[in-house]
Amino acid sequence: MNAGSVSRYRHRRLANAMALLLGTLATLFGLFWLVWILWVTVSRGLAAISPALFTQLTPPPPGNGGGLANAFIGSLEVNVIALLAGTPVGIGAGMWLAEYAQRNALGTIIRFLNDILLSAPSIVLGLFVYALVVRPLGHFSALAGGLALALIVLPVVVRTTDEMLRLVPSTMREAALSLGVPQWKVILQILLRSARAGVVTGILLALARISGETAPLLFTSLNNQYWNHDPLKPIATVPVVIFQFAMSPFSGWHALAWAGALVVTLLVFVLGLLSRLLLARSKVIHD
Amino acid sequence: MSALVPPSASPGTGTQIASRQRIAHDAWNDRLFRGLLLGCALLVLAALLGAAGSTLWGGRLAFHSFGWKFLVSDRWDAVNGQFGALVPIWGTLMTSLLAMLLAVPVSFGIALFLTEVAPAWLRAPVAAAVELLAGIPSIIYGMWGLFVLAPFLAAHVDPWLNDRLGALPGIGRLFRGPPLGIGMLTAGLVLAVMVIPFISSVMREVFKTVPARLKESAYALGSTTWEVVWNIVLPYTRSAVIGGIFLGLGRALGETMAVTFVLGNAHQFSESLLMPSSSIASVIANEFTEAYTDLHRSALIALGFLLFMVTFVVLAFAKLLLLRLARKEGDV
């Protein structure tokens, strides 16, 4: 080897080492933010958490004492409306895509648009529901908030249902059809049942996504300082209350906002973990 | 199904009539079921068209009143009924651009680490940890950005940028300003952290689809790991990698809450990245429930329409690029 090729070899080795080092540093950079954000959320949230958080109403402006009880119940109500509205439609659309539109043009278009809806700005979906529900009714309501979130649930459920049904072996369809079972029974009672774990995973993922969603609720369900069980009235939800409290100048409200943030983050992580476990288990069964 | 029915038109025995009725019944139910599912699928279409149509319709007053000036005027004056969207549009584009400048190289580094560098036992846990970042609700990013990151930047980073980079000719004007902590730079940083998990997971997935024999051939010719990634893996997955980047861009453009917290909602135009600004989504979030005139509300909905159109184009482009790799894989 002459001197030129030795130096070139050394140069290539150096470039390689640099690139791999930078890749490792980039990963540490990403994990650094994760640790920082979680540390702040957990430490500030734990400092403010107390039984009163789950039993008392959101306090008025000076913001001392009180809890987020009405916001928790409100979030529950809005999320239930969202799941009730979004899940059946999502499963239906997913079944249509997987069973009737594997390769046709309309199926391809809807699958494409569904993926766009999946990443579409949620605040615009809120504007849509504002025009669709809030304007005609004349006031903000829990129902409108639930429907706005249903538009976020919908694409998640459509996509997972579609993917999970397509994983079901086609021999299962053929066996059932050859016995003369009508197709709707094949889909509902055989295919959907064998893809059940995957579909439930999709619902859990959707729930995780809407649990922290704030933007579309700002002008659909608005906020409410008191208890409300009427779906046609404005309602408090945890993310909107966190937003209102965090943007205020009062330290008592800030503390409650951090406590709410910790609860929401934990809920989202638990839902994510559950869906992962469920998916891993269903894969074992399929194999 | 109809082949099972005896072809004779003559009335058959009782069981034949019953089975014929049953087959007709099943066929009717099948058609009903199929129609019902099609209706569900069309609702997805309706949701997207409805969001575009309703924001266009709701924004018509603003589009009519201001025409092209809505896009190029920087005057946003709710009291005098003058609305120009230049500042929010500029804020949205600049914060997303900053986010991509930081997020793309970092995501590439993470994907490189997870596919080539890390030992096998470390890959799954680190990938799961990075994806946790995507699970954190955006309002938590906002609070952390406002209460923790912004004071930190104001105390340690902004003065340094102002002193060192602010003195440079040309790009210096981007970094001149008071150390407020909130502003476009902070928003860009928060957005970058938020989109890193999306971009890096797409890159990681597509890097794994490169056929092993291609990589092994390059190694056999004496390539280093970096040369294999740069000359084999990246060209093979180029369209999908760009697709992943645009997916992240689509997310960054439409992100609302985190940006609302750290951008400062200012309507004065400023070229400095250290100054507060506003983005389309943050203006809608801040002002929509307080908009009392029809024109103000219409201007906000018109902004929503612009945002929807821009993200639609970006996301559609991303999706098309990602499909190209999927198709290539199907051919192999």
CB-nearest to B44 from A33, A110, A124 is A110
* Interface contact flag, A100 B38, Cβ < 8 Å: yes
CATH class of the A54-286 domain in this structure: mainly alpha
Q: Give the single-character DSSP code of A217.
A: G
CB spacing of A124 vs B48 below 8 angstroms: no
Q: Chain B partners of A15 at a C-beta cutoff of 8 Å?
A: 224, 226
The pLDDT score that the predictor gives to residue A245 is 92
Q: Are A268 and A208 in contact (CB under 8 A)?
A: yes
pLDDT at position B3: 47
Asked if the C-beta of B211 comes within 8 angstroms of chain A's C-beta atoms, the answer is no
Two tokens, residue A284:
């074992």
What is the maximum alpha-carbon separation in chain B? 99
Q: Find out whether B58 and B303 touch, Cβ atoms under 8 Å.
A: no
Are the beta carbons of A31 and B126 separated by less than 8 Å?
Answer: yes
Task: Look at B169-183, B258-272, B309-323 and tell me which has the smallest mean pLDDT.
Answer: B169-183
Predicted local confidence at residue B37, as pLDDT: 95
Structure confidence by residue, pLDDT tens digits, B129-164: 998 999 999 999 999 999 999 999 999 888 888 888
3-state secondary structure of A58: coil
pLDDT for the residue B1: 43
- Answer for the pair B88, A123: CB distance below 8 angstroms, yes or no: no
Residue-wise burial string across B12-46, b where 16 or more C-beta atoms lie within 10 A, e elsewhere? eeeeeeeeeeebeebeeebeebbeebbebbebbbe
Q: What's residue B332's pLDDT?
A: 42
**C-alpha radius of gyration, chain B, whole number:** 27
Q: Tell me the percentage of chain A whose pLDDT exceeds 90.
A: 73
With beta carbons less than 8 A apart as the criterion, state whether B308 and A120 touch: yes
Is the CB of A261 less than 8 angstroms away from the CB of B284?
Answer: no
Spatial separation of the C-alpha atoms in residues A220 and B294, rounded to whole Å: 18
In which residue are the tokens 């994760």 written?
Answer: A34
The span from the CA of A168 to the CA of A190, in Å, is: 10
CA separation (Å) from A148 to A106, A209, B284?
25, 13, 16
Q: Which of B39, B137, B308 sits opposite A265 (nearest CB)?
A: B137
Contact B50 A20 (CB under 8 A): no
- pLDDT tens by residue, A32-64: 999 999 999 999 999 988 888 898 888 887 777
CB B302 within 8 A of CB B241: no
With a cut of 60, say whether residue A287 has pLDDT above it: no
CA–CA min distance A133, chain B (Å): 12
Span of A281-285, B19-23, B237-241, B283-287 with lowest mean pLDDT: A281-285
Give B 150-179 residues with CB within 8 A of chain A: none
Contact: A26, B105; criterion CB under 8 Å:
yes
Higher pLDDT, A160 or B169: A160
Tell whether B281 lies on the interface with A, counting CB pairs under 8 A.
Answer: yes
Residues in chain B closer than 8 A to A88 (CB atoms):
40
CB contact under 8 A, A23 and B225: no
Cβ–Cβ contact B304 with A under 8 A: yes
Note the pLDDT of residue A230: 85
pLDDT digits (tens, 9 = 90+) for B34-43: 999 999 999 9
Which residues in chain B are closer than 8 Å to A212, comparing Cβ atoms?
136-140
* Burial class (CB within 10 angstroms; exposed 0-12, middle 13-18, buried 19+) of B136: buried
Query: Three-class SS string for chain B?
Result: CHHHCCCCCCCCCHHHHHHHHHHHHHHHHHHHHHHHHHHHHHHHHHHHHHHHHHHHHHCHHHHHHHCCHHHHCCCEECCCCEECCHHHHHHHHHHHHHHHHHHHHHHHHHHHHHHHHCCHHHHHHHHHHHHHHHHCCHHHHHHHHHHHHHHHHHHHHHHHHHHHCCCCCCHHHHHCCCCCCCCHHHHHHHHHHHHHHHHHHHHHHHHCCCCHHHHHHHHHCCCCHHHHHHHHHHHHCHHHHHHHHHHHHHHHHHCCHHHHHHHECCCCCCCCCCCCECCHHHHHHHHHHHCCCHHHHHHHHHHHHHHHHHHHHHHHHHHHHHHHHHHHHHHC
Contact A20 B226 (CB under 8 A): yes
Cβ of B225 within 8 Å of Cβ of A16? The answer is: yes
Per residue in B178-220, pLDDT (tens digit) is 888 889 999 999 999 999 999 999 999 999 999 999 999 999 9
* Mean model confidence pLDDT for chain B: 89
Residue B167 confidence (pLDDT): 78
Cross-chain Cβ contact B44/A93 below 8 Å: yes
Q: Which residue of A41, A96, A124 to mutate against B (max B Cβ within 10 Å)?
A: A124
Pairs of CB atoms within 8 A across A/B: 272
Strand partners, B83: B76
Residue A230 or residue A115, greater confidence = A115
**How far apart are the C-alpha atoms of A110 and B41, rounded to whole Å?**
7
Higher local confidence (pLDDT), B302 or B4: B302
Which chain A residues contact residue B138 at CB under 8 A?
Answer: 212, 214-215
- B308–A120 C-beta distance less than 8 A: yes
Instruction: Say whether B224 and A272 touch across the interface (CB within 8 A).
Output: no
Here the tokens at position B259 are 């940006």
Higher pLDDT, A225 or A101: A101
Confidence of residue B2 (pLDDT cuts 50, 70, 90): very low
Residue (of B193, B199, B184) closest to B282 by Cα position: B184
In B39-98, the residues whose Cβ lies within 8 Å of chain A are 39-45, 47-48, 50-51, 54-55, 57-58
Q: Is B196 on the interface with A (CB under 8 A)?
A: yes
Rounded to the nearest integer, the mean pLDDT of chain A is 91
> Which residue type is seen at B98?
L
Task: Give the chain A residue whose CA is nearest to the CA of B247.
Answer: A119
Residue B330 has pLDDT above 70, yes or no: no
Distance from CA of A202 to the nearest CA of B (A): 14
Mutate to test the interface with B, among A12, A43, A95, A123 (most CBs of B within 10 A): A123
pTM assigned to the model: 0.91
Neighboring chain A residues of B299 at a CB cutoff of 8 Å = none
Nearest CA in chain B to A17: B226
